[in-house]
Structure 1
Amino acid sequence: MATRQVPMLSLEAAKVAAEAAEAKAKEMGMDFNIALVDSTTHLLHFTRMPTAKLTSIQISIDKAFTAAGHRAPTSTYQNKNFLPGGPAFGIHNSNQGRFSIIGGGVPIEVDGTVVGAIGVSTGTPAQDMEVARAGVEAVEGWVKRRGASKL
């Protein structure tokens, strides 16, 4: 077979994630930048809440890019292997500096396949992760309610 189909997050599912993440942010009393990418790492949807840090726009997009591209949360890279002297130090310089080792990027999976990712930035890595996780959980619930994995 010369071609294959790659499962991708739909715009509708991305909006579900963004709305849930924004609701979580409001609950926390903070504004965030919220980016969603498809499984090919390309930007699908973006929300900048009013007082979210302008310098965090690209960071949120890069967190989503990293989580989708490596199919792992960006928090995975918060250990000694990626710090100065570690065997993987410098990975953050890869992909034209887009590889993020800061928590807040989380892949979105459907039936065990990464279909996209969410990246959140403005708060601490823990706060960013909390908002991102709300988006992921919303998509998981949305898929379950629909009774099918089709996005």
Structure 2
Amino acid sequence: MDIIQQASIDWASAHLACEAAMLQAQALSVHVSIAVVDRNGRTIAFLCDPLAPFHCSDIATDKAYTAASFGLPTHRWTEISQSMSVAVKEGLLQRDRMVMFGGGFPIVVDGERVGGIGVSGASETQDMECAVAALNKIGADKESV
């Protein structure tokens, strides 16, 4: 039997990512929730502005989960879904944690997916900007974006 070893984001980097995203949100004067999950979708770090809408906590986590699962930024699903059959698209949309709009990114380090980050609470573009600030802060590969 072969043993598979997979890298995953550590708690310190996950917390640093959350902090960087929140600082970017403050610079934009927006109120967001931020979640970082490991490569298996488990929440490693979470940070929420007390003024962020309640539902954004779950949406941020689901964005991170979707990005970590598929290895794609969540905003790419809008384009990808255009070429899907109706059955496939509806099937994906019925998944509890599937998000197909911006604010979620895979976290890739040295070419290996180690987790995902999700930001929710501002506009789609602002959520994405906060997540990218986090990826830059922790030194994630540019293909994460």
Structure 1 segments, 4+ long, off by >3 Å, are 82-88
Question: Cα RMSD between the aligned structures?
Answer: 2.1
1:137 aligns with: 136
What is the Cα deviation at residue 31 of structure 1? 1.3
2:65 aligns with: 65
Q: How many residues align?
A: 140
Q: Secondary structure at the match of 1:133?
A: helix
Return the alpha-carbon distance in structure 2 between the equivalents of residues 76 and 127 of structure 1.
Answer: 16
Asked whether the 8 Å contact 1:24–1:134 carries over to 2, the reply is yes
The alignment's TM-score, normalised by the length of structure 1, stands at: 0.85
The alignment's TM-score, normalised by the length of structure 2, stands at: 0.89
**Taking every aligned residue pair, what percent have the same amino acid on both sides?**
32
What is the Cα deviation at residue 10 of structure 1? 0.2
Structure 2 residue ranges without an equivalent (≥5) = none
What is the Cα deviation at residue 79 of structure 1? 2.6
Alignment of 1:74 onto 2:74: yes
Return the alpha-carbon distance in structure 2 between the equivalents of residues 84 and 6 of structure 1.
Answer: 30
What is the Cα deviation at residue 82 of structure 1? 5.1
What is the Cα deviation at residue 86 of structure 1? 4.7
Which residue identity lines up with residue 93 of structure 1 in the other structure? Answer: Q
Q: Secondary structure at the match of 2:81?
A: helix
Which residue identity lines up with residue 21 of structure 1 in the other structure? Answer: A
What is the Cα deviation at residue 81 of structure 1? 2.4
What is the Cα deviation at residue 87 of structure 1? 6.3
Which residue identity lines up with residue 92 of structure 1 in the other structure? Answer: L
Asked whether the 8 Å contact 1:92–1:99 carries over to 2, the reply is yes
